[in-house]
Structures are given as structure tokens and as C-alpha cells.
A = this chain, B = another copy of it.
Amino acid sequence: MSDLRIAVLGVGMMGADHVARITGRISGARVAVVNDYLPEKAAEVAAAVPGARVAIDPFDAVAADDVDAVLLATPGPVHEKQLLACLEHRKPVLCEKPLTTEVETSLEVVRREAELEKPLIQLGFMRRFDPEYQQLKALIDGGELGEPLVMHCVHRNPAVPPSFNSAMIVKDSLVHEVDVTRFLFGEEIASVQIIRPAANPAAPAGLQDPQIAIFQTASGRHIDVELFVTTGVAYEVRTEVVGELGSATIGLDVGLVRKSSPGVWGGRLTPGFRERFGTAYDIEVQRWVDAVRSGVNVDGPTAWDGYAAAAVCAAGVRALESGERVTVELAERVGA
């Protein structure tokens, strides 16, 4: 099957990241068309992608015959029209958040899509694909925490751009916890309260930071979220679900940690080499492919490394048999 041809609309930080992802790490797809509000930015990005062309008009990109699907990374205010164009041309679209910037227009997009025979729009709430959130979801759905009762979330950024304002903390940061809540608990949020503590002295004047958001779900579950975007420290996203039978936390840099009866805490050990070194294998093979394509051939351990390992292991086998220390003899170094 031939590769999926994708038009990427918007190649700011997020969109450019997606272009690099599709080009260098995703199998079965390629970037066919690049569009941006700034044509020179689009041209720069497209120049680095073999086979990609620039489209000046995003609607031309959506409509083009050499485009099978659209990745939407433009600013929120233009999403509505671009999504409707995708629906009109029956192009599947992966849309970075938000769907649109207004509740009414979001609902309108939902309704228009529902008139079609198949869904076309996927939202970019990437946390649903994060292995830790997946584990937490599995734990909840498998009943291992019993009835989930309370969730505590922390969302911290070291810094935000100067243009960031208090409402953006809700719309750009809290929105992830909104989706996490709906994803993990499988129900809608019924009410929201936002507490405004004394502000961080290091935050820009006028920015209400930190904020504490409190959700109540339809069935009465409590969720609290600390939003703090000027910590100066690091990117910290943490979620603890407290249920009838115990609690589980992700985002502690140690994988999912459970606390459960009879009074033990712990996590899961890596079961095998695939889980432990799967990423290393992916990087190894990708770097080898890149090295061979560029004519360098080798970007990793050499044949000499293989010989040296063989010599040490041969000595090791003799040491195993004798129980004595065995000296390793190596030939004079040859080759790379």
C-alpha cells in the first residue's frame, strides 16, 4: 500500500514537530503539502522534506488531489473553517486542540460531521496515548481501584510566553485535564470552580498564577487541579486517582505507583527485554538506516567491538570452568 499523503496546515513549533515526526519516525505516511500563514516558513519546512510542496492557500491544500489527509496545527481561531473544508472534501483530519475557540462553533462542527456516514475528525489530546495514562485507564476499567472517587492533578510549566494570560491557563492548560477526566472516568464534568490564590511573585504582573480548578462530575466525583505555569522548575504533569480499593499515581518519573491493601506500595517491574530495550532497538535500527542511506554505513558498535566481546567471552568461559582469573589477550587493533 502506498504511503498516506498528508497536508500539514500550520508549521509553528507544534506543526513543524509533526512534520519531523511524520518524515523521520512514522511508517506508512509522508508529508505531501505544507501550508502556513507565513509562506516563507512553509517553504523552509517543505525544503527539508523530500517530495513535499508548498500550498499558499490552506483550502487548496485541503482540496488537493495529492492530499489524502490533513494535520491541522494552525491557530484555534481558523480551525472552524478549515475543519468544515475537511468535512466538505471528505478528508480525515487530525486536529490539534482546540476543536474551535467557541462552544457554539464546536457544536456546529460536531453536527456537520454527524451528517456524514463516517467520522473524519480526530482531536489531538495526546495524553490518551501516553503509556502511563493507558495503564491508569486500564487499572480503573479493570476495577482494580474499585469505584474511583477523587482525582488530584498537577500541571506545572517552568515558564510561559509573555503573551500568556489568565484565561489561557484555563483554555490551553486545564483543557488537558478536562479531557483526562472525561477519558479516565468516562463521564461528563458537571461543574467547575476556580480558586485564585495569592499570585506567584515571579509571575508577570496581572497573571493569576497559580490557579486551583475544581471539577465535579455528573456522578459527584471530585477532581482538583493545580495549574502553575511559572514555576521556573520543570514540566510536571501528575495524576493521582483515589478509589474505593486504593490509589494510583502517574507522572512521578517512576512509572505508575499503586498503593493498595494490605498496605503495600509499588510498581510493575519490566517484564522482558522488549519492554526494557524496545526503544533502544528502534533508535538503533533507525540510526543504522540513516547511516546506510547517507553512505556512512555504521553508526554504532563496529566489527572490532564484536571481536573484543568474543575474546572476553571466550576468556569468561575458561574462567567459568577453572574458577580462576583468566587474562584476556587481544590482537593488535585493526580497522575502525
Contact = CB atoms under 8 A, between A and B. Distances in A.
B301 A128 contact: yes
Contact of A308 (B182, B270, B300): B182
B297 A118 contact: yes
Q: Which 6 A-B residue pairings sit nearest by Cβ, starting from the closest? A: A266-B266, A99-B306, A198-B220, A234-B269, A197-B222, A114-B335
A231 B305 CA distance: 30
A74 interface: no
B28 A179 contact: no
Interface residues of A, number: 178
A275 B234 CA distance: 11
How many copies of the shown chain assemble into the complex?
A: 4
A334 interface: yes
Interface in A287-308: 287-293, 295, 297-308
A213 B130 CA distance: 31
Given A313-B171, A325-B193, A27 B23 contact: yes
Contacts of A325: 191-193, 214, 216
Interface string A171-190: 10011001100110000111
A212 B150 contact: yes
Interface stretch (A33-41, A53-61, A136-144, A239-247): A239-247
Contacts of A295: 118
A310 B98 contact: yes
A210 interface: yes
A237 B16 CA distance: 36
Nearest to A316: B170
B270 A267 contact: no
Interface string A8-25: 000000000110011111
Interface string A251-266: 0011100011101111
A303 B29 contact: no
Contacts of A226: 150, 152, 242
Contacts of A191: 315, 325-328
Contacts of A50: 1
Given A125-B305, A192-B325, A224-B224, A119 B213 contact: no
Contacts of A162: none
A242 to B, nearest CB: 7
16 contacts: A25-B27, A110-B307, A111-B335, A114-B336, A126-B281, A130-B279, A146-B201, A150-B212, A193-B319, A193-B324, A194-B316, A201-B244, A233-B247, A234-B261, A254-B254, A265-B269
